[in-house]
Structure 1
Amino acid sequence: MSTIPLDYETLRLIWWALLGILLIGFAVMGGRDLGVGTLLPFVARTDAERRVLINVIGPTWEGNQVWLVLGGGAIFAAFPPLYAVSFSGFYLAMIVILLALILRPVGFKFRGKVADTRWRSAWDWALFVGGFVPSLIMGVAVGNVLLGAPFYLDDTLRAFYTGNFFQLLMPFALLAGLVSVGMIVLQGAVLITGRTTGVLADRARTYGTWAGLATIMLFALGGVWVAFGMDGYAITSIVDTNGAINPLGKTVALVPGGWMTNYGLYPWMIAAPVLGFVGLVAAVLGLQARLRIPTLVASSMAIFGIISTAGLSLFPFLLPSSTVPESGLTLWDASSSHLTLFIMLLATVIFLPIILAYTAWVFRVMRGDVTTRSLEKNPNAY
């Protein structure tokens, strides 16, 4: 252990931050595709218009899925107890998300195989489901994390889930889901306005503006709810930030408004919700001003701020337990070993810049407006 240049506490903090960055990366990059899919049946009214939207995301959506894979891999390798509890307890919700995501590649490939209006319309709605359902359920999942998941650990650290799928659909969790849908729809609308022209861009601008305004109100309502209508979890025992994995080695209490405590202890954290609101307002104004790149930056900044707000509020919890609070998982007691985190960090330092560079190159190559005329010249278009 002494040969590792970073102490255990620092590595745990780094991987907590990296996990957040990977999840935000998927929301920003994959959110473009999910948002366009959600808007597809509404923004595009004809087959030609829908082909344009599909080809806006068609060449890059698979690459954007890398962020989701990396996020799941980081949970598995860096925080194994979190992976075990969340992926088993939320199994049905995960299956629903995966089934919805599977509709996207199938829809892209099969939609154009038959020149029939009903056939293509069915696949268009399948692409809508593939965008809307994951956006909603992932937000619902975040809401349930803030509420606390119904599970507990026995003396051998085996996890037992005490809830069911329908218990996930609590009012606050549904509110969080709507916030997620709103910010993803905004991201998709911003992409459409940046890659198309004419009536498609105008319709997307309208939907994006309404989505942005709705997200501002929903995000504010969620903040008030967390601050004044919800109990948060707080560790009441001494925390060994360099200790071994042992989620049961602490005491936890429910505290009214407890998720707001970190903002008093670490005032700089207030930058996250501020960034969320500023990004949303700037994105709405950018849509009205018909600015492309600044609006995309603003909507991405809003996503960063909204997700960071949830993550910073939870710190140091990864997954609180509503059944037995002491069973809640934190980054201090649910991480991999010191050596494992260090080796993973070395791999990340090497490969993450390569992924970022390749992604930037791909988007540079695929830049430019997508129009019906450009599709006629491209034999590989969907």
Structure 2
Amino acid sequence: MILHQLIDYETLRVVWWLLLGVLLIGFAVMDGFDLGTAALLPFVAKTDVERRVVINAVGPVWEGNQVWLILGGGAIFAAWPPLYAVSFSGFYLAMFAILFALILRPVGFKYRSKRDSAAWRAGWDWALFVGGLVPALVMGVAVGNVLRGVPFRLDTDLRIFYEGTTLFELLNPFGLLCGLLSVAMLVMHGGAWLVLKSEGPVAERSRTYGSIAALVTAVLFALGGLWLWLGVDGYRITSEIATTGASNPLAKTVEQAPGVWFENYGRHSWMMLAPLLGFAGALGSLAFFKARREVPALLASSVSILGIISTVGLSMFPFILPSSIDPQSSLTVWDASSSHLTLFIMLVVTVIFVPLVVAYTAWVYRILWGKVDAKAISDGSGHAY
């Protein structure tokens, strides 16, 4: 027996759909507090020492956290080639905006203290703010547009044609709502991180802004669900589904209809756990902020991120990228994956190396555990940034 046939093609496709979700959630949880912290920088830090406290709260770990973004992009490229092709061509300008903003982060960290000038440092502080806010906003906008459907089609040779126009068409009302939800969610997470890692005025301001963001997250999540139910057509497959056949998105028929994105919850009641975790995590984080419980607040915000992202994935299953102009071209778990052998080899590599990444990350956080010392920053005896 050929080794890769030990796991059938259908199972491998579902496994890689789950792993893609894990990687995206891992990025949102691990790098999300970095983005949220940067977005909070102008609001929670009023003096240069306070700003350095905020920067040093994430400075030693942000590079390792960004590994999850690289892993997610690599998984999309290798496991779902058509998804990679459509998203990275259709969302090219959005991706460019994200990458430009992310580049500002390491540059800001490295150059901020190169000159003893208040104006120089203020400029780089705003660059760090942009580096946190823009990716959080644009990623949420992208998810909103995926739920609405993306304007692409496939011809009979499976060539991809993206027929969108400009970046601004992505900034539709529903997309912007999802973008604001993403910002609120990550600001809540960043606030929880800063409460854990700082003391004094920075921690108190972070607690206040984190509490507000937690409440806003719950409200926007509810509004997004209501809007999705009433104002956004979902997609369903109306033909026979070939779960083990060769990848060919055109070998199916698809229709759009209101409320379809909620059908999975009716068929599988356990899926309701995802939105419940989204709400419970946000409201729990709010309660823990008020109770001054640092670690539980961070864990609760992580649970909220898990629930909100899982809600999107479970609502859309088996779709991973629907087409708004030619529903038949929509990409699904069953017809947009790499070959059986490719998915199996990737799974073996993942099983070996992802636990190593997790173990190393855990070790780093254990070593770096503790609060940033403002006194050590003031007298120059500690901290790198």
TM-score range (shorter-chain normalised) is over 0.9
RMSD over aligned Cα atoms: 1.0
Q: Does 1:252 align with 2:251?
A: no
Letter in 2 for 1:301: V
Letter in 2 for 1:381: A
Equivalent position to 1:173, from 156, 166, 175: 175
Corresponding residue SS for 1:249 = coil
**Which stretches of structure 1, 4 residues or longer, exceed 6 Å deviation after superposition?**
none
Partner Cα separation in structure 2 for residue 117 and residue 203 of structure 1 = 22
For structure 2, list consecutive stretches of 5 or more residues without a partner in the other structure: none
Q: Does 1:313 align with 2:315?
A: yes
Give the TM-score of the pair, scaled to structure 2.
0.98
Once the 2 structures are TM-superposed, how far is the Cα of residue 374 of structure 1 from its aligned partner? 2.9
Partner Cα separation in structure 2 for residue 193 and residue 171 of structure 1 = 33
Equivalent position to 1:220, from 222, 225, 231: 222
Partner Cα separation in structure 2 for residue 260 and residue 380 of structure 1 = 49
Partner Cα separation in structure 1 for residue 148 and residue 156 of structure 2 = 24
Letter in 2 for 1:69: I
Corresponding residue SS for 1:321 = coil
Once the 2 structures are TM-superposed, how far is the Cα of residue 26 of structure 1 from its aligned partner? 0.4
Partner Cα separation in structure 1 for residue 329 and residue 15 of structure 2 = 23
Corresponding residue SS for 1:113 = coil
Partner Cα separation in structure 2 for residue 61 and residue 357 of structure 1 = 16
Once the 2 structures are TM-superposed, how far is the Cα of residue 166 of structure 1 from its aligned partner? 1.2
Corresponding residue SS for 2:161 = strand
Mapping of residues 32-51 of structure 1, within 5 Å: 32-51=33-52
Partner Cα separation in structure 1 for residue 74 and residue 19 of structure 2 = 12
Corresponding residue SS for 1:232 = strand
Partner Cα separation in structure 1 for residue 356 and residue 101 of structure 2 = 29
Once the 2 structures are TM-superposed, how far is the Cα of residue 275 of structure 1 from its aligned partner? 0.4
Give the TM-score of the pair, scaled to structure 1.
0.99
- What are the superposed Cα offsets for residues 350-375 of structure 1, whole Å, 9 maximum, x if unpaired? 00110000000000001101022233
Q: Does 1:11 align with 2:12?
A: yes
Match of residue 347 from structure 1: 349
Letter in 2 for 1:239: I
Partner Cα separation in structure 1 for residue 48 and residue 178 of structure 2 = 33
Match of residue 204 from structure 2: 202
Equivalent position to 1:304, from 303, 306, 320: 306
Corresponding residue SS for 2:113 = helix
Once the 2 structures are TM-superposed, how far is the Cα of residue 266 of structure 1 from its aligned partner? 1.1
- What are the superposed Cα offsets for residues 100-144 of structure 1, whole Å, 9 maximum, x if unpaired? 000000000000001111100000000000000000000000000
Q: Provide closer, same or farther for how the CA distance between residues 154 and 378 of structure 1 changes in structure 2, counting only shifts above 3 A.
A: farther
Aligned residues: 382
Mapping of residues 70-149 of structure 1, within 5 Å: 70-149=71-150
Match of residue 26 from structure 2: 25
Once the 2 structures are TM-superposed, how far is the Cα of residue 32 of structure 1 from its aligned partner? 0.8
Partner Cα separation in structure 1 for residue 376 and residue 248 of structure 2 = 58
Q: Provide closer, same or farther for how the CA distance between residues 235 and 224 of structure 1 changes in structure 2, counting only shifts above 3 A.
A: same
Assess if the C-alpha contact under 8 Å between 2:185 and 2:214 holds in 1. Answer: yes
Letter in 1 for 2:384: A
- What are the superposed Cα offsets for residues 130-160 of structure 1, whole Å, 9 maximum, x if unpaired? 0000000000000000000011011111111
- Percent identity reads 62
Assess if the C-alpha contact under 8 Å between 2:376 and 2:382 holds in 1. Answer: no
Corresponding residue SS for 1:381 = coil
Partner Cα separation in structure 1 for residue 65 and residue 287 of structure 2 = 27
- What are the superposed Cα offsets for residues 40-78 of structure 1, whole Å, 9 maximum, x if unpaired? 011000000000000000000000000000000000000
Partner Cα separation in structure 1 for residue 14 and residue 87 of structure 2 = 20
Once the 2 structures are TM-superposed, how far is the Cα of residue 379 of structure 1 from its aligned partner? 5.0
For structure 1, list consecutive stretches of 5 or more residues without a partner in the other structure: none
Match of residue 59 from structure 2: 58
